[in-house]
Amino acid sequence: MSLFKNYKSGIESVLSRSGQTLQKGLNSPYNLLNENKKTFSSVPATIDPNSKTILDFDSNQLQKYFGPNKYSFDKVTIGNHPDFEYLAENQMLKHHCVSMFIDIKGSTRLALKYSLEEVRLIKDTLLTLCINVVSHFGGHVHRLQGDAAFVQFVRKDSNPNDSVINALNAASVLCQVVSEDLSSAFVSYGLEPIKIRIGIDYGADKEVMWSHYGIANCNELTTTSLHTDLAAKLQHKASVNSIRIGKNLVDAIEMKEDYISTPKIIKNGEYIEDRYIIQSSELNYRQFDFNWKKYLNSFSFYQQNGSGKLEITDNALTLKANVYKTEQEATQYHENNYAILKGKYIKYELMFNGVSYHKKSYETIVWEAFNYGNEAKTADEEHHDFEKKFVNKTYCIAHAGYHGNHYLKCTIQREHSDNVILKFPIYVDDELDSDLDIKSMLN
């Protein structure tokens, strides 16, 4: 199942209804000028010509699988960031920000085959998809530039780790949908596939300054930061259908090495590592390619099909996680949704079609935790089994003790049949929740 199947079918509707054929040869631009005037009638009757996009965005799929996002805005806007627009024209503020540049490639040649109305409809629908996806994950669209968008992931006084997580989740979803779902629609109608390139970098409080540029009545509130500039440069250097990130993101969340690789370029006929996005006597700053496919495949609801593409799969057996604020008060946590503060307790529960699972007599249930990061490695806690105290229980209670990206694994061992393995990934922050004391839950 595709995350946004309606977008693919909507774009296919426009592509399939055009009676135009691609003109070839040196005189093709002049040939196009002599064609009969195209009209909006080539757009399916089911699409309102006055509609801004092909389809309204339905956020239910994102809500269902990735969960609600506490950083998303009540109202989607563009331009000055709502959390910082109180700044006067002569004021400045240092505050962290994750900057993302998104570029959609392959739409330029649409004008050679489709009417301007159809081209606008397709391009605007793609941009609208980008806007809605990043908005769900708490991103703010600062600027649209042709087929590109500049997005800021930040909320005032928020956890920087959460901004990094939200940016990676949004970018990964966009790369998967555009490169695997939507691009095939263009290929099937003889067009170059739509491609996407994304660059992301993170600047800490001391590295980012918010202020106004311009003059009265003609200015914008934006960031002054090397890392905003580098996000644009990372996007430009990224290969198609890929995400390139700066080292600050890797360090902020202690990103798993499985998800990153050093870019390579061809020099003198050989592939060599392209380690730095900027290299000078003042700064050597690393760049990495982020493997969005491997990252999304860590979510329980994504699976690779026979062709290697990712699909959404609804499983009857799932894990549900609740993060406890007190012994009686808990909040449901969705996979890799935000960084849980160290010291919190998380209760994982086996579910079957949305209700609590009941263990069968022929089953053995085993719970394990796999931790990643320097703290877990130093403590020799990269893997543990909770001293087997939750064996054959349909729940497990874990303690968020180490900074990094970890996952809980539940194995249901069954006699005379294959084991069932369930995984649940989480992020843990390096900030300690010192007010929490509910250790009695473990007893």
Beta-strand pair 148-153/139-145: antiparallel
More confident site: 147 or 428: 428
pLDDT of residue 183: 87
Amino acid code (one letter) for 95: H
Which residues fall within 8 angstroms of residue 152, CB to CB, at 6 or more apart? Answer: 81, 97, 98, 99, 100, 139, 140, 142, 223
Please compute the mean of the pLDDT values over residues 340-362 and round it to a whole number: 96
CATH level 2 (architecture), domain 5-312: 2-Layer Sandwich (3.30)
Q: What are the structure tokens assigned to 141, written together?
A: 């669209």
pLDDT at 167 over 90: yes
Helices within 159-302 (DSSP H only): 160-176, 183-187, 226-237, 247-253, 292-296
Please compute the mean of the pLDDT values over residues 72-93 and round it to a whole number: 95
Per-residue pLDDT band for 191 (boundaries 50, 70, 90) equals confident
pLDDT in tens, 288-332: 999 999 999 999 999 999 888 999 999 999 999 999 988 889 999
Give 410: exposed, middle or buried? Use CB within 10 Å, 0-12, 13-18, 19+: buried
Please compute the mean of the pLDDT values over residues 363-368 and round it to a whole number: 97
Per-residue pLDDT band for 124 (boundaries 50, 70, 90) equals confident
**Which stretch of DSSP H or E encloses residue 350?**
strand 345-352
Q: What are the structure tokens assigned to 312, written together?
A: 């959404």
* Closest CA relative to residue 10, chosen from 177, 241, 192: 177
Give 76: exposed, middle or buried? Use CB within 10 Å, 0-12, 13-18, 19+: middle
* Closest CA relative to residue 99, chosen from 44, 59, 53, 154: 154
| Mean of the per-residue pLDDT values of the chain | 88
pLDDT at 31 over 70: no
Residue 184: CB atoms within 10 A of its CB come to: 14
Coil, helix or strand at residue 64: helix
More confident site: 435 or 124: 124
Contact 120, 147 (CB under 8 A): no
Q: Hey, where are the domains in the chain?
A: 5-312, 317-442
- Among 259-263, 269-273, 437-441, the range with the most confident prediction by mean pLDDT is 259-263
pLDDT at 369 over 90: yes
5-312 and 317-442 in the same fold: no
Coil, helix or strand at residue 247: helix
Name the β-bridge partners of 143: 150
pLDDT at 390 over 60: yes
CA 230 to chain centre: 19
What is the phi-psi region of residue 373: left when phi exceeds 0, alpha when psi lies from -120 to 50, beta otherwise? Answer: left
Tallying the residues shown for the chain, one arrives at 443
> What is the rounded distance in angstroms from the CA atom of residue 179 to the CA atom of residue 193?
8
pLDDT of residue 438: 56
pLDDT of residue 12: 85
pLDDT of residue 23: 38
Please state which of the ranges 159-163, 179-183, 400-404 shows the lowest mean pLDDT.
179-183
pLDDT of residue 213: 95
**What is 271-311 written as a DSSP string?**
EEE--EEEESSS-EEEEEEE-HHHHHTTSTTEEE-TTS-EE
**Residue found under tokens 């080292």:** 247
Per-residue pLDDT band for 21 (boundaries 50, 70, 90) equals very low
Return the CATH fold of 317-442. Immunoglobulin-like (2.60.40)
**Packing angle, helices 5-17 and 116-136, rounded to 10:** 170
Please compute the mean of the pLDDT values over residues 254-268 and round it to a whole number: 94
Please compute the mean of the pLDDT values over residues 326-350 and round it to a whole number: 95
E-strand stretches of 85-147 = 93-94, 97-105, 139-145
Q: What are the structure tokens assigned to 262, written together?
A: 């050093």
End-to-end CA distance of the chain: 42
pLDDT of residue 442: 55
Q: What are the structure tokens assigned to 187, written together?
A: 């290929």
Give 149: exposed, middle or buried? Use CB within 10 Å, 0-12, 13-18, 19+: buried
% of the chain surpassing 70 pLDDT: 88
Residue 284: CB atoms within 10 A of its CB come to: 12
Which residues fall within 8 angstroms of residue 321, CB to CB, at 6 or more apart? Answer: 332, 333, 334, 346, 347, 348, 349, 408, 424, 426
% of the chain surpassing 90 pLDDT: 69
* Closest CA relative to residue 402, chosen from 417, 381, 424: 381
pLDDT of residue 441: 57
Per-residue pLDDT band for 443 (boundaries 50, 70, 90) equals low
Task: Give the CA count within 13 Å in the CB-facing half-sphere of 400.
Answer: 33
